[in-house]
Amino acid sequence: MVRRSTAARTTGMTRRRGSVLTAFAALAVLALPGSGADARQARPAPVVEATAPRPHGEPIMAIVSIKAQKVTFYDSEGWIWRAPVSTGVSGRETPAGVFAIIEKDKDHHSTLYDDAWMPNMQRITWNGVALHGGPLPGYAASHGCVRMPYGFAEKLFDQTWIGMRVIIAPGDVAAVDFSHPALFVPNAEALAAAPSRAATLGREAEDAAKTAGEAKTAAAIADREAKSLKAALRKLEQAKARADAELKIADRKLAAAKTDQARAQAEEAKQKAVANAADAAAQLDAARTDTTAKLDAAATTKEAAKAAAGKKTDIAKAAEEAKLATEPVSVYISRSTQMLYVRRNTHKPARDGGGEVFDTSLEAPVTIRDPDRPLGTHVFTAVAQNGSGLRWTAVTIDDGDDAKDALDRITIPRDVLARIAPTAVARSSIIVSDEPLSTETNYRTEFVAVLSNQPQGGFITRRPTADVNVASGDEYDDGFGNFFQRSWDGQPVAPPRRRAPPQTYFRPVQPGWW
């Protein structure tokens, strides 16, 4: 409470100070030569908060214009909210590129800037770039974040969602209706069958997990029994060795006997030794036969447990993919790597804290005609169902081909399309860019791509995201691959230097549903 009160007072002072500075700035402008009515008319009109004069749906994307210092939110029918913003100052510029909301915090305090209050924070990179409420002096003034009016940020905080696309453009761009044969066309039968398939595979995954658990328990019991049998067998081998040694001693005593009485005693001892040795040999032979059979059974049980665990993993992965088939799919196509990457939000909280886990189970090479010629950066979004298909929009934020020509140059493998297109739903998207994925992309983010030909001060100067374990293996037993465990090519820190191309590998596409 104390921190909030202090922050609130600080914010109040900041607002008043901002108002005073704005007033002085206005007086200074009026005092300049040529700053009369003609000059004011020559300047673009300031952006003001606005709401579309129609009922609005849930927002699908936000577009921030660095040039116009404004943000516009869109639903399936067009823009719904617009407001002025304040982006990064020179040297700490807000990065232009493609992002998505990855975390929300109603009452956030900065860990980078002296506990500064950033109310209604919506994070778009883990290294500290976010949308949040803040003072707006009428020009770029932040350290790289996108400040919005306090009331506007509060109004939209509960309207947005994790994974919602945020596009930051150098210029003033808008989403426009778009159609193209390369855009995903869903299959009505596949869409209708997806929920029941997911439910069926979910039950099969539960059964497989139960079977695997039982097999693991049986294997553990068999392993303990096998160890016990081996210990017992060693004792019998030692007993036989002692019996054989006693028989040899009896033979030597019998051979050394000088009197009839001594020979009789030695003979009696030998007979006992023979009987003991025969009994020990019989017990050992029986134990060996029994142990061999039980060890074979234990090995079979162990193999069954291994097979059950493998089946559990395969069915769990298939069940997860079937469940994700009903989620919007995001596809990123990079001319830099000539690869296609697929992501879907699992809506599972990251176990190491912060954000949600995004599935990263598919990447594949794509064919790009004239790969040395720029494509530009284009974001295609399925905004709504359109009969049996989808209605799409396009946003272009970087120079290159126009949106249609960019898609014309790309060929997606048929087997990849077969896994993605049949169950594509509204909010699915395709991003085409010359850029590689940013180093900020990890299993807790949607795609992050930053334009390398634009200033990135507020992105580069921030502390990079710490290395994170990818959701795979024992820690994240959810069927995710290690897609983003390696490092991706980042953006150039000091142009024109560029790092080597990112290291990638191709995971073969398995037939079946996505």
Single-letter amino acid code for the residue at 79 = W
Tokens of residue 171, six digits: 């210029």
Range in 46-60, 172-186, 377-391, 470-484 with the lowest mean pLDDT: 470-484
Residues 6+ apart with CB under 8 A from 55: none
Residues 362-372 pLDDT 10s? 899 999 999 99
Question: 470 versus 304: which is more confidently predicted?
Answer: 304
Mean pLDDT of 187-200: 91
**pLDDT greater than 90 at residue 45:** no
Selection from 100, 78, 82, 81 nearest residue 176 by Cα: 78
- Please work out, in degrees rounded to the nearest 5, the angle formed at the alpha carbon of residue 261 by the alpha carbons of 259 and 251: 75
Tell me the longest C-alpha to C-alpha distance in the chain: 144
pLDDT score of 229: 83
CB count, 10 Å around CB of 512? 11
β partners of residue 250: none
**What are 338-360's pLDDT values in tens digits?**
999 999 999 999 887 778 999 88
HSE of 220, CA atoms in CB hemisphere, 13 A: 6
pLDDT for 464 equals 65
The three-state secondary structure class of 132 is: strand
- What pLDDT does residue 260 have? 86
Between residues 290 and 174, the one the model is more confident about: 174
Average pLDDT, the chain: 81
Residue ranges of the alpha helices (H) in 257-363?
260-324
pLDDT tens figures, 253-287: 888 888 888 888 888 888 888 888 898 888 888 88
* Cα 349 to Cα 90, 126, 445, distances in angstroms: 36, 15, 12
**Strand, helix or coil for residue 499:** coil
Q: Could you tell me the two tokens for 52?
A: 């579309």
Average pLDDT of span 426-453 = 94
At a CB cut-off of 8 Å and minimum separation 6, what does 102 contact?
123, 124, 125, 126, 162, 163, 355, 356, 444, 445, 446
Q: Where are the alpha helices (DSSP H) in 421-487?
A: 457-460
- Higher per-residue pLDDT: 423 or 479: 423
Q: Indicate if the pLDDT at residue 51 is higher than 60.
A: yes
